[in-house]
Chains A and B, each alone.
Chain A
Amino acid sequence: MNKRTSLTLTLVCLLLGFALLAATVISSQSFNDVLFFPSQQRANIIAANAQQEGTLRMFLFTNSYLFLAVGAALLAAGFWFLSQFNLHSERSRKAVRLLMTEYRPLFILVIAILLFSALSARFLTILNFTNIFKQISHYAILAAGVYFAILLGGIDISVGSVLAFSGAMAAVIIRAMPDTPWAAALAVVAALLVGLAAGMFNGLFISAFSLQPMIVTLATMSIFRGATLVLTSGVAISIAGSRYAGASVITALGQKTLLGGYLPAPIILMVLVYAVVYYVLNRTPFGRHMYAIGGNEEASLLSGINVFRTKMIAYTTSGLLAAVAGILVLGRVASATPTAGQGYEMDAIASVVIGGTSLRGGEGKVLYTIVGALIIGMLNNIQTLTGVDSYYQTIIKGIVILLAVLLDARTSKK
Chain B
Amino acid sequence: MGDIVLQLRDISKSFPGVQALDKVRLNVYEGEVMALLGENGAGKSTLIKVLSGVLQRDEGTIIFRDRPVAYQSARQAQEDGIAVIHQELNLIPKMKVYENVFLGHEIRGKLGNDKNQMIAKTRELLSRVGVQLDPKQTVESLSIAQQQMVEIAKALLLDAKVIIMDEPTDTLPDEEVASLFNVIRELKAAGKAIIYISHRLQEVFEIADRASILRDGRFIAESMISQLSMEKLIHMMVGRTLDQQFPYEPGEKQKPALSVRHLSNAHVHDISFDLHKGEVLGVAGLVGAGRTELAQTLYGLHPWERGEATLLGEAFQPKNPHHAISRGLYYMTEDRKRNGLILTMDVKCNITLSSLRAILRRGAIDNKAEKTSVNEYVDLFNIKTPSIRQRVRNLSGGNQQKVVLSKALMTQPEVLILDEPTRGIDVGAKKEIYQLISELKSRGKAVLMISSEMPEILGMSDRIMVLHEGRKKGELSRKEATQERIMKMIVSHNTRESETDGAKA
Binding site for B on A (CB under 8 A): 90, 94, 279, 283-285, 288-289, 291-292, 294-296, 298-306, 362-363
Asked if B349 and A303 make an inter-chain contact with CB atoms under 8 angstroms apart, the answer reads no
Q: How many pairs, one residue from A and one from B, have CB atoms within 8 Å of each other in the complex?
A: 75
Among A285, A295, A300, A306, the residue within 8 A (CB) of B357 is A285
Please choose the segment from B87-95, B178-186, B221-229, B333-341 that sits at the chain A interface, where 4 or more of its residues have CB less than 8 A away: B333-341
Asked if A304 and B322 make an inter-chain contact with CB atoms under 8 angstroms apart, the answer reads yes
Q: How far is the CA of A295 from the CA of B324 in the complex (A)?
A: 23
Q: How far is the CA of A296 from the CA of B404 in the complex (A)?
A: 14
Q: At the interface, yes or no: B321 with Cβ under 8 Å from chain A?
A: yes
Chain B residues with CB below 8 A from A296, complex form? 339, 341-344
Asked if B16 and A292 make an inter-chain contact with CB atoms under 8 angstroms apart, the answer reads no
Asked if B349 and A291 make an inter-chain contact with CB atoms under 8 angstroms apart, the answer reads yes
Q: How far is the CA of A362 from the CA of B321 in the complex (A)?
A: 21
Q: Enumerate B308-347 residues with CB–CB distance to A below 8 Å.
A: 320-322, 324-326, 331, 333, 338-345
Asked if A292 and B365 make an inter-chain contact with CB atoms under 8 angstroms apart, the answer reads no
Asked if B339 and A292 make an inter-chain contact with CB atoms under 8 angstroms apart, the answer reads no
Asked if A299 and B331 make an inter-chain contact with CB atoms under 8 angstroms apart, the answer reads no
Q: How far is the CA of A296 from the CA of B339 in the complex (A)?
A: 7
Asked if B365 and A284 make an inter-chain contact with CB atoms under 8 angstroms apart, the answer reads yes
Asked if B364 and A362 make an inter-chain contact with CB atoms under 8 angstroms apart, the answer reads no
Asked if A295 and B344 make an inter-chain contact with CB atoms under 8 angstroms apart, the answer reads yes
Chain B residue total in the interface (Cβ 8 A): 30
Closest 5 CB pairs of A and B: A295-B344, A285-B356, A295-B342, A362-B344, A304-B325
Asked if A298 and B344 make an inter-chain contact with CB atoms under 8 angstroms apart, the answer reads no
Interface centre among A284, A296, A298 (most CB of B within 10 A): A296
Asked if A363 and B344 make an inter-chain contact with CB atoms under 8 angstroms apart, the answer reads yes
Q: How far is the CA of A284 from the CA of B349 in the complex (A)?
A: 12
Interface centre among B299, B345, B365, B407 (most CB of A within 10 A): B345
Chain A residues with CB below 8 A from B325, complex form? 304
Asked if A299 and B342 make an inter-chain contact with CB atoms under 8 angstroms apart, the answer reads yes
Asked if A362 and B339 make an inter-chain contact with CB atoms under 8 angstroms apart, the answer reads no
Asked if A302 and B333 make an inter-chain contact with CB atoms under 8 angstroms apart, the answer reads yes
Chain A residues with CB below 8 A from B345, complex form? 291-292, 295, 362
Asked if A288 and B349 make an inter-chain contact with CB atoms under 8 angstroms apart, the answer reads yes
Q: How far is the CA of A289 from the CA of B321 in the complex (A)?
A: 15
CB distance from A210 to the nearest CB of B (A): 15
Residue of B nearest to A361 (CB): B344
Known: A284-B364, A291-B345, A292-B345. A302 touches B353 (CB 8 A): no
Q: At the interface, yes or no: B354 with Cβ under 8 Å from chain A?
A: yes
Asked if B342 and A302 make an inter-chain contact with CB atoms under 8 angstroms apart, the answer reads no
Asked if A303 and B321 make an inter-chain contact with CB atoms under 8 angstroms apart, the answer reads yes
Asked if A288 and B356 make an inter-chain contact with CB atoms under 8 angstroms apart, the answer reads yes
Asked if B365 and A288 make an inter-chain contact with CB atoms under 8 angstroms apart, the answer reads yes
Residue of B nearest to A293 (CB): B342
Interface centre among A90, A303, A305, A363 (most CB of B within 10 A): A303
Q: How far is the CA of A306 from the CA of B341 in the complex (A)?
A: 16
Q: How far is the CA of A279 from the CA of B345 in the complex (A)?
A: 18
Known: A285-B356, A288-B349, A294-B344. A299 touches B365 (CB 8 A): no
Q: How far is the CA of A294 from the CA of B320 in the complex (A)?
A: 20
Asked if A302 and B364 make an inter-chain contact with CB atoms under 8 angstroms apart, the answer reads no
Q: At the interface, yes or no: B363 with Cβ under 8 Å from chain A?
A: yes
Q: At the interface, yes or no: B411 with Cβ under 8 Å from chain A?
A: yes
Chain B residues with CB below 8 A from A288, complex form? 349, 353, 356, 365
